[in-house]
Each structure stands twice: as C-alpha cells, then as structure tokens.
Amino acid sequence: MKHIVFLLYVLTFAVGVSAITLSILFYIRERIRWFGYYIFFQLVVLFLLFMYALRIYDYISFFNVNDVAIKVIVTISFANIALLIYFIPFIVFHMIRRAWGARENLIFLAVDAAYIALVVLYLVFNYNIVFFSILNGIFFADVIFCIVICLLSLTNIKERAIKQAVRIFMILSAVFFPLILLNSFLDRLFGVQTLQFPFGMLLLPLYHLWWNMTLVIYLIYYLSKPRNRRVIQSFLRVHGITRREEDIVDLLIDGRTAKEISDLLTISPNTVNNHIASIYQKAKVKNRIELMNLLS
C-alpha cells in the first residue's frame, strides 16, 4: 500500500505541473491578476506535496532519511502550511469576487502569526500533542471557513465558469474533507503511518489530483478554442455579461435582428431590446458596430 501512496504522489505531482504550465499560459493571455496569485498558491501546494513524498522514502526503504533531514522537511512543511492558511482564503475571496480589504488581510496575517508561534512551541516542546492539535484545528478551521464563504456567495457569482469552479471545489471538499479530517486523527490509514503525514496530507494528493485534472481539462478546452471565441469569453467575463445576455451577444455576432433573436430565444422583443441596451451599457458602446469592433 505504501508503494501505491508514493505512486499517487508522483501522479499528483505530474498532473500538478501540467496544471501550473497551462495556468501560466492562461495568465499570459488573460492577465487576470488574482490568477497569478493562484499559480503561486499551486506552486506552494505542489512543493508541500513534494516534501511529504520525500518522507515516504523513509518508510518504503528506497533510501534512508536521517533525523536532521526529517526535521528540515517538517519545518519546510509547516512553513508551506502557514502560506496556505493565508492564501486559501485570499484566492477564494478573489475567485468569488468578494472584497479582500485591510480587515481581512490583518485577520489572516494575525492567524498566520499565531500559527507560526505555535509551530515554534511545537518544535521546542518536542512535538507536543496539544500544540499539534491546535495547529491541526487552525488549518481545518481555515478550510471550513472558505467552504462556508463559497456556499454563501454562490448565488451572487455571475460568471458561469467561476460558479462551476466553485461548485467543483465545494463538491470535492464535501467528499474528501471528512476523509482528510479522519486521516489527521488516525495513527494509521491504509497501512501507512499517518503521524508522519499530519493535517490529512496522506489523502490530500488525491483531492489535489482531482482538482487539477478538472483544471487541466478546462484549460485545454479554453486554450484550444479559436482566438475570436476566447476574446468573446474574456469580454463576457470582464463586463459581467449574464448567461441570457451571452446568448444574445452570440446572435448579434451572427448578424441577427432583435426580432429574429426574439423568435429564436422565445422571449418578447421588448425583453430582447432591454438585454441589448444592458449589454451596450456594460460594454460602454453605443451600437452594434462598436460592439463588433470591441470583440474583433
């Protein structure tokens, strides 16, 4: 079973590298600021998984990892988790278009500072179980907070792609989070010593694997679309165009009149005209010609 766990880490690392590569290409083309932070977040998670993969070697006897190396890995792992405690809510807030102000920044920096102080105490007092439990609690409280925020904000997200990503995040979290939580409190899981994988890190690769596979599929689909279609998707996202307005934009591009759009979408001509006026207002254009120029 230990060998399978190690292979899972290798597969997760490979898919993670693919996701980061495609994410960089996406960022270069779209220049979405928060997505740059998401790439950094992915790198932190990937590095953390790499650190824990090294620890498996000590148990499957590929090579011997001495005590000093273990302590270095533990320290680096805690530093990575401290980064995650700040960046998970930071990324979630930006993804769901929720304001990240000075208050949120101060709160999570304070939580991070408290976490780092507890890490120092945990190491000084020779891996005391009390400090470990508190550290565990802080990390999981951070993740639970993000899941709750996503749930409360889901109805306010207008972009379909973002809403779908948030739904996938919540579904995967609902499936894997109880297992990861259980993993963090068991001495052994699937025959592997989970005390060497605190915070549910034994099962985290599986969670990370499914998330990155979803991301890779989406990015391949997006980046493989014709350039003009990518421009349209970018336009829809930037200007907050609704799903119904997106249908109307597609028909306007095809040269359809308001009457034809009304017949095709089975809505009244007045409703179509209202949607068109809303599109023009959001895009800050005056007519169809200016809209076409904006999309070209």
Choice between 201 and 10, residue whose per-residue pLDDT is larger = 10
Dihedral angle, C-alpha 57, 58, 63, 64, nearest 10 °: 150
Say what the pLDDT of residue 65 is.
Answer: 52
Domain locations in the chain as residue ranges:
2-224, 228-295
Query: What's the mean pLDDT in 205-227?
Result: 74
Q: How far is CA 259 from CA 45, 243, 248, 282, in A?
A: 52, 19, 12, 22
Both structure tokens of 209: 């694997």
Contact 241, 279 (CB under 8 A): yes
Percent of the chain, pLDDT > 70? 80
* Per-residue pLDDT tens over the stretch 249-261: 878 877 788 888 8
Q: Output the average pLDDT for the chain.
A: 78
- Which of 28-42, 145-159, 221-235 is predicted least confidently? 221-235
Say what the pLDDT of residue 161 is.
Answer: 67
- Which of 23-32, 225-234, 273-282 is predicted least confidently? 225-234
Query: What's the mean pLDDT in 183-196?
Result: 55
Query: What's the mean pLDDT in 86-101?
Result: 82
3-class state of residue 242 by DSSP = coil
Percent of the chain, pLDDT > 90? 7
Between CA 43 and CA 20 the distance in angstroms is 8
Q: Where are the alpha helices (DSSP H) in 154-186?
A: 160-185
Both structure tokens of 204: 């985290």
3-class state of residue 18 by DSSP = helix
Between CA 60 and CA 56 the distance in angstroms is 6
3-class state of residue 257 by DSSP = coil
Return the CATH fold of 2-224: Rhopdopsin 7-helix transmembrane proteins (1.20.1070)
Residue reference for tokens 């907050």 = 240
Contact 237, 95 (CB under 8 A): no
Q: How far is CA 105 from CA 32, 46, 101, 119, 136, in A?
A: 20, 24, 6, 21, 21
In this model, does residue 185 exceed pLDDT 90?
no
Structurally, at CATH architecture level, domain 228-295 sits in: Orthogonal Bundle (1.10)
Write down the pTM of the prediction.
Answer: 0.61
Choice between 22 and 95, residue whose per-residue pLDDT is larger = 22
**180-184, 210-214, 282-286: range with highest mean pLDDT:** 282-286
In this model, does residue 139 exceed pLDDT 60?
yes
In this model, does residue 152 exceed pLDDT 80?
yes
What band does 154 get if pLDDT is binned at 50, 70 and 90? Answer: confident
Strands 188-189, 192-193: pairing is antiparallel
In this model, does residue 106 exceed pLDDT 70?
yes
